[in-house]
Amino acid sequence: MEKRFSIVLLCLSLGFIHCGGALDTSGAGEAGVTVNLVIENPSPDAIGTAKAVDHGSDFSLGKGLESSTISQCTITATAPGKVSQSKTVDVASGASTIEVSLSLTTSSNWTICADCSDTSATSNNVTEGFNGCAEGVSVAKATDTASISAKFKNLAASSSDVVKYIRIKQDSKTQGAITVGFANALTDAEKATVRCLIELDPTGSRTTMGAIDSSASLGLVTTKSDYYAEVKGGVGSPKCSFFNSSDTLLTKSSGTWGSNSKSNTEAACQLSVRQMRSLLDNDRKGQYAVLCSLTGASPWTVVPANGKYAKYDLSAGGDTDRTTLVSNGGSCNSTSNGLECASGYCSPGGTCISWTAASLSGVVTNVVGPAEGTTTSGTTDGVGSDARFNAPNGICLSPDSSTLYVLDLSNRVIRKVVISSGTVTTFAGDGTIHHVDGTGTSAGFGTLGGCVVDPLGVYMYATDRVGSVHTIRKINLSTAEVTTLAGGNVTGGLIDGTGTAASFSGDVMHGITIDHAGANLYVTDGNNNAIRKITTAGGVVTTIAGNGNASRGDADGTGTSAKFASLGQIAIDSTDSKLYVAQRPGITATAGKIRQIVLATGVVTTIASLNGFVATSDASTGASASFNGPFGIAIDPTDSVLYVSETEGAVIRKLLIRTSGLVQSIGTTSTLAGGSATDGDSNATGTSARFSTDGTKFLTLNHLGTILYVSDPSKNKIRQVK
């Protein structure tokens, strides 16, 4: 339904009332002007009487973000060679008209502008409102009028745009935010492909876009303003990155998906006032323009319309929260969403993590277990080399990387390692092969595979098998209480369902990972040659790729049409958009490969080792590389590096999956540590180090991406690579 609301600014110039100068009805002197102000494009559910409403189709904008009760307007009039006039008037609550007097010399080239705002929304120097100008206005007599179409400064051009608004505002004295509002509730597929580029012009001097180009399919041009930001989609969360004009990444924050009062999706990226001042813009005032797409390609939505600029002002707050930003590796408050960090973001464990990938040099040393050159097994708790394991299998870290958990396969227990001291204790399990829920050493396990700790460090999840019954076990890390989350159907096979009604199949389900919300687990289901998803709340199991033992093979595809064989570990990226899986040689001469699953679409592709060779062979691109039994896999916090362990190759490999910017590109594969297919147990640097040529070498990476932990089951120890 079409709505229209007009604020009429009346110049009283008839009879004995005039506009401050001699009235010249011939048009030779001063003339009074009536200005008709029509407000376009704001929210249809704005509150109050003197308000902005949509004159066309419903933009479905949120009241909390874009609505304004107009409380003040400033009218300015300028013309070449003429004395400009400006007047600010208050709009009374409930008023539908206001009056203002302008005395303008006759001219055919006046520009008359209105800038209206809701002053109640400026407590943090954020102005809600609209502006617009009428150009080329002819003033000759008192009855002349000027019509001004004023638009919100941060709204899209038309009702057909997929992006409706964007704002940069100050939420508090210490924190600002960039919020992008969309026309609808986005699907996971749309969330995964969203891309927005925000040009920040701190000087406020640009009149045309520099960092972004409304007509360019790629959205970037060579002429740039000082800074720009990118909001790049992800199913779990958008990623927010800030660059300078040389494309150098300055900082990154994890964004959040939300919704407005119309239940339409919003992407919000936080930026502290201190970060703005230190990294981007010292006075924290300027203007911005935005380009957004749901697909990362044309069509683009430009906000504000026609490539103009909106203003931002984050100067009201000060830096009372912190005088300096925390450097990488320093302690931060994880609830602040990384706003204290000089670059990167604050991990759930409370440490600032750089957005630049750490460079591991391949130095291999022991963490716990028998000393170098010895492989004695046992059950002994102890410190460092005094501790004994019996075929340690899956390993996983607490969010702050202070504690390592080890699934001690042949001992049928879970061990706990305090990293700082090397102290090893038995955490859960009675050492007997059986499936028993319980607390601590009263619980029973069978064949333990992989494990993962949730983002808050509350629970560990582990894969387990007793006979033909496969389960996902849930362990409370505070109480050591062990329960069964999903699986246990004695029928076996590939059965989706809830809790014990679901079934898995495999000698051991090796791979398990969890998304960054702690909501979903992903498991490599061995004999079913499938990737399964399990909700942590309720244990609902579904199949997202692959389709049972009959579909065993090696074929890319979508969902259950894809084929897998001999699946190893699995890893998830920081935006919960992609899974990476190691696949060992398992059928005929099929090579070990690295596979990728896009969660929003279920599309499975092979990203490394396309040539079908079984060998440890580095290459300039991952597609040309080859692997000898890839099994363990870990992704670094920047989403730019995969680390892969080989069962037969006895090496740790490094695969670049993002070589520049934020767009994925598969780069070099190199050998980080270990001698190709040479069995051993020696600590050294790079290819001089030796690992076993058998056994499932699990990997886990610390939260900073600086230490890679390796379980070496045939050597009965845990090693690390720095």
**CATH number of domain containing 642:** 2.120.10.30
Both tokens of 218, joined, read 């790629």
Task: Enumerate residues 6+ apart whose C-beta is below 8 A from 246.
Answer: none
Kindly state whether residue 514 falls inside one of the protein's structural domains. yes
Residue (of 451, 453, 452, 484) closest to 470 by Cα position: 484
Give the separation between CA 402 and CA 420, rounded to whole angstroms.
7
Residue-level pLDDT at 349: 66
pLDDT reported for residue 168: 75
Find, among 31, 133, 37, the residue nearest to 82 by Cα. 31
Q: Are 535 and 529 in contact (CB under 8 A)?
A: no
Q: Is 302 in the same domain as 415?
A: no
For tokens 């598969």, the residue is: 666
- Residue 157 included in any domain: no
Residues 114 and 176 in one domain: no
Same domain? 141 vs 172: no
| Bond into 304 cis (ω within 30) | yes
Same domain, 127 and 171: no
State the burial class of residue 136 (Cβ atoms within 10 Å of its Cβ: 0-12, 13-18, 19+). exposed
Residues 663 and 552 grouped into a single domain: yes
Q: Which amino acid is at 215?
A: S
In degrees, to the nearest 5, what angle opens at C-alpha 95 toward C-alphas 93 and 99? 120
Q: What Cα–Cα distance (Å) separates residue 594 from each residue in 114, 194, 442, 459, 695?
A: 59, 26, 39, 28, 19
Phi, psi of 579 (to 5 degrees): -110, 145
Residue 442: how many other CB atoms lie within 10 Å: 14
As a whole number of angstroms, the distance between CA 406 and CA 417 comes to 8
List CB contacts of 324: < 8 A, sequence separation 6 or more.
Answer: none
Picking from 295, 323, 351, the residue at the C-terminal end of a domain is: 323
Q: What's the sign of the alpha-carbon dihedral 646, 650, 652, 653?
A: negative
> What SS3 class is residue 550?
helix
CA atoms of 153 and 173, how far apart (whole Å): 23
Q: How far apart are CA 67 and CA 499, in angstroms?
A: 46
Q: Give the tens place of pLDDT for each residue, 672-717.
A: 999 867 788 999 999 999 999 877 789 999 988 999 999 999 999 9
* Same domain as 317, residue 257: yes
| 211 contacts 224 by C-beta, under 8 angstroms | yes
Residues 74, 115, single domain; the answer is yes
Residue 617 lies in domain:
364-721
- Residue 416 has phi, psi (to 5 degrees) of -120, 130
**Same-domain check for residues 558 and 470:** yes
Smallest CA-to-CA distance from 701 within 370, 357, 302 is with 357
**Site of tokens 């090579």:** 591
In the 8-state DSSP scheme, what is residue 280? I
The reported pLDDT for the residue numbered 177 is: 78
Last residue of a domain, one of 152, 175, 202: 152
**What is the DSSP secondary structure assignment for residue 709, as one 8-state letter?**
E
Q: Tell me which residue of 423, 432, 350 sits closest to 383, measured CA to CA.
A: 423
446 assigned to some structural domain: yes
Question: Is 334 within the bounds of a domain?
Answer: no
In a domain, 337, yes or no: no
Specify whether the CB–CB gap between 621 and 687 falls below 8 A.
no
Selection from 137, 119, 166 nearest residue 308 by Cα? 166
pLDDT tens per residue across span 151-179:
555 666 555 677 777 777 766 666 777 88
Distance in angstroms (rounded) separating the CA atoms of residues 595 and 548:
17
Helix (H, G, I), strand (E, B) or coil at 65: helix
User: Is position 376 within any domain?
Assistant: yes
Beta strand residue intervals within 285-398, DSSP E: 285-293, 301-303, 310-313, 345-346, 352-353, 364-368, 382-383, 392-397
**Integer Cα distance of 5 and 124 in angstroms:** 28
Residues 611 and 699 in one domain: yes
Longest dimension (CA), the chain: 109
Regarding whether 178 and 97 lie in a shared domain, the answer is no
Torsion of CA 550, 552, 556, 561, to 10 degrees: 10
Question: DSSP 3-state assignment of 389?
Answer: coil
Kindly write down the DSSP assignment for every residue of 624-678, as one continuous string.
Answer: G-BBSSEEEEEE-TTSSEEEEEETTT--EEEEES--STTS-----EEEEES-TT-
CATH number of the domain to which 111 belongs: 2.60.40
Of 152, 181, 200, at which residue does a domain stop? 152
- Rg of the chain taking only CA atoms, in angstroms: 31
Within 10 angstroms of residue 405's Cβ, the number of other Cβ atoms is 23
Q: Are residues 676 and 542 in the same domain?
A: yes
What pLDDT is recorded for position 57?
26
Q: Which residues of the chain are under the pLDDT cut of 70?
A: 1-70, 92-101, 116-134, 141-160, 170-174, 207-226, 254, 261, 298, 304-308, 315-323, 334-339, 347-349, 507-508, 550, 586-591, 610-613, 620, 659-664, 676
DSSP tag of 691: B
* Residue-level pLDDT at 510: 87
Cα separation of 675 and 460, whole Å?
33
Burial class (CB in 10 A: 0-12, 13-18, 19+), 371: middle
- What's the pLDDT at 651? 92
Domain count for the chain: 3
User: Do 119 and 248 fall into the same domain?
Assistant: no
Q: Tell whether 582 is covered by a domain.
A: yes
CB 66 within 8 A of CB 121: no
Per-residue model confidence (pLDDT) at position 535: 96
Task: Examine residue 329 and state whether it is found in any structural domain, yes or no.
Answer: no
User: Are 539 and 550 within 8 A, CB to CB?
Assistant: no
Q: What pLDDT shows up at residue 140? A: 74
